[in-house]
């Protein structure tokens, strides 16, 4: 699978950057105000009761700060964070090992929770509800279940596809939050903070240009900031070069990112629906086949942002390009298609 500059998923090469830029407190965490307010109340109440937090489900597209929130919750609750991911827990024994090594008031963070095998999910039910681990001893009619008590812990699960979680698992979370895309003003604040931490000089127009192209996602904004810093330094011939609006615009053009944050693949998806499927509806498999692209990349990376921009609609019959898509690609609207208001 090809890696795209505006892919909101994190790569292993970005771990150090994300650790450097990760907020250290809720006051430093920009955006997601409703989520922060509700979490702050829950944490304050839990501290007053000397209790652990209810289990928390964080859903939303990648790059919006779910992992950061988990770390901040642990810091605020003065709890140890044990982090893992759905793909890393392949067998019941893997989860049992993690659960039995937890200590009182620990927070267990499972990223990509939708990729947990169903049989592993089922082990979580009593662990979350009764704080016990059911171990089956023996087989057949001689089998018996041994209940092992677990310490008080909070499970924080993060997912980009909450619909893939089973209903029984979803119902066991006391709190469920969906993170929203960021406003451009919030992305500008994040860029200003990141630039300060990385000792990058950038003017306000350049921040605005990057924010508009960031797909409303902090991870993408920080990635673009880093790439444009490289361009500014190389062109100026020194490490103290500033990112101007001119540098930002030229750098985005070199990266193939337009003013709304669309890359070649995004535009190709829209163009394929419009030109090959007459505006839609078009099936995901058909679009992927025409573009020779992975269906998962289109569904997880391309579509969420196009839907947010209002350039794409998903219907029961397939994907449909909206008038906004025609306008962005400078293509004429088909007859009978309503025009966009200015």
Whether the CB-CB separation of 158 and 111 falls below 8 Å is answered with yes
- Residue 13 CB neighbours (<10 A): 8
Instruction: Consult the annotation and say whether 66 binds a ligand.
Output: yes
Q: For domain 184-255, which architecture applies? A: Orthogonal Bundle (1.10)
The CATH T-level fold of domain 264-328 is Arc Repressor Mutant, subunit A (1.10.10)
CA distances from 153 to 59, 80, 167, 175 (A): 20, 10, 21, 15
**Predicted pLDDT of residue 186:** 97
Q: How far apart are CA 266 and CA 258, in angstroms?
A: 10
**Per-domain residue ranges for the chain?**
32-178, 184-255, 264-328
In terms of DSSP H, where are the helices of the chain? 15-21, 33-49, 66-76, 92-100, 118-129, 167-170, 184-197, 204-212, 218-236, 245-255, 264-275, 284-291, 295-297, 303-309, 323-328
Residue pair 27/61 in contact by the 8 Å Cβ criterion: no
Q: Is 215 annotated as a binding residue?
A: no
Q: Tell me the two tokens of residue 212.
A: 């508009």
Alpha-carbon gap, residue 153 to 162, rounded angstroms? 22
Beta bridge partners of 28: none
The set of catalytic residues is 66-67, 111, 160, 219
Phi, psi of 278 (to 5 degrees): 55, 40
pLDDT number for residue 10: 59
Question: 305: closest CA among 86, 1, 9?
Answer: 9
* 195 phi/psi in degrees, rounded to 5: -60, -40
Q: Supply the pLDDT for residue 239.
A: 81
The whole-number pLDDT of residue 252 equals: 96
Rg of the chain in Å (alpha carbons) = 23
Which pLDDT value is given to residue 341? Answer: 43
Tell me: is residue 68 an annotated ligand-binding position: yes
What gap in Å lies between CA 266 and CA 272, rounded to an integer?
Answer: 10
Q: What's the N-to-C CA distance of the chain in angstroms?
A: 38
Cα-Cα-Cα-Cα dihedral sign, residues 284, 290, 295, 298 = negative
For residue 168, say if its preceding peptide bond is cis, omega within 30 degrees of 0: no
Q: Walk along the chain (342 residues) in steps of 10 and give the mean pLDDT of each run.
A: 60 71 92 95 95 95 93 95 94 91 95 93 91 76 77 95 91 95 96 93 95 94 94 87 93 94 95 94 94 90 92 93 94 69 42
By C-alpha distance, which of 227, 163, 236 is closest to 198?
Answer: 227
Q: Kindly report, residue by residue over 286-319, the tens digit of the pLDDT.
A: 999 999 999 988 988 899 999 999 999 999 999 9
Buried b (16+ CB within 10 A) or exposed e, 103-129: eebbbbbbbbbbbbbeebbebbebbbe
C-alpha torsion sign, points 89, 90, 93, 94: negative
279: left (phi over 0), alpha (psi -120 to 50) or beta: left
The confidence score (pLDDT) of residue 342 equals 40
Instruction: Give the whole-angstrom CA distance, residue 270 versus residue 187.
Output: 25
pLDDT of residue 8: 65
- Asked if domains 184-255 and 264-328 share a fold, the reply is no
Residue 261 among known ligand-binding residues: no
Q: Annotation-wise, does 319 bind a ligand?
A: yes
Q: Which CATH superfamily is domain 32-178 in?
A: P-loop containing nucleotide triphosphate hydrolases (3.40.50.300)
Q: CA 318 to CA 288: how far, in whole Å?
A: 13
pLDDT given for residue 1 in this prediction: 42
Dist CA 249 CA 268 (whole Å): 21
């Amino acid at each position: 699978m090809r890696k795209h500059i505006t892919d909101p998923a994190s790569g292993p090469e970005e771990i150090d950057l994300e650790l450097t830029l990760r907020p250290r407190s809720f006051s430093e965490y920009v955006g997601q105000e409703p989520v922060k307010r509700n979490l702050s109340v829950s944490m304050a109440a839990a501290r007053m009761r000397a209790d652990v937090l209810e289990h928390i489900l964080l859903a939303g597209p990648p790059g919006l700060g779910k992992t950061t929130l988990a770390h901040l919750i642990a810091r605020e609750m003065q709890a140890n964070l044990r982090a893992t991911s759905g793909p890393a827990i392949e067998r019941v024994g893997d989860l049992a090992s993690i659960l039995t090594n937890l200590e009182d008031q620990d927070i267990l963070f499972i990223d990509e929770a939708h990729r947990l095998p169903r049989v592993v999910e089922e082990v979580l039910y009593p662990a979350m509800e009764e704080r016990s681990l059911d171990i089956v001893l023996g087989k057949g009619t001689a089998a018996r279940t041994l209940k092992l008590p677990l310490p008080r812990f909070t499970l924080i699960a993060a997912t980009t596809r909450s619909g893939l979680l089973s209903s029984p698992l979803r119902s066991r979370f006391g709190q469920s939050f969906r993170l929203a895309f960021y406003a451009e003003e919030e992305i500008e604040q994040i860029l200003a903070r990141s630039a300060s931490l990385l000792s990058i000089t950038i003017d306000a127009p350049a921040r605005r240009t990057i924010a508009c192209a960031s797909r409303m996602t902090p991870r993408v904004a920080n990635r673009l900031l880093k790439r444009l810093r490289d361009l500014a330094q190389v062109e100026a011939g020194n490490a103290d070069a500033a990112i101007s609006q001119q540098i930002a615009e030229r750098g985005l053009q070199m990266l193939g990112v337009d003013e709304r944050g669309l890359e070649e693949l995004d535009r190709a998806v829209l163009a394929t629906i419009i030109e090959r499927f007459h505006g839609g509806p078009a099936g995901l498999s058909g679009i992927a086949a025409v573009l020779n692209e992975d269906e998962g990349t289109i569904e997880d990376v391309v579509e969420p942002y196009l839907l947010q921009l209002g350039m794409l609609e998903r219907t029961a019959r397939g994907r449909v390009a909206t008038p906004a898509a025609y306008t962005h690609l400078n293509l004429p609207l088909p007859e009978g298609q309503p025009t966009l208001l200015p």
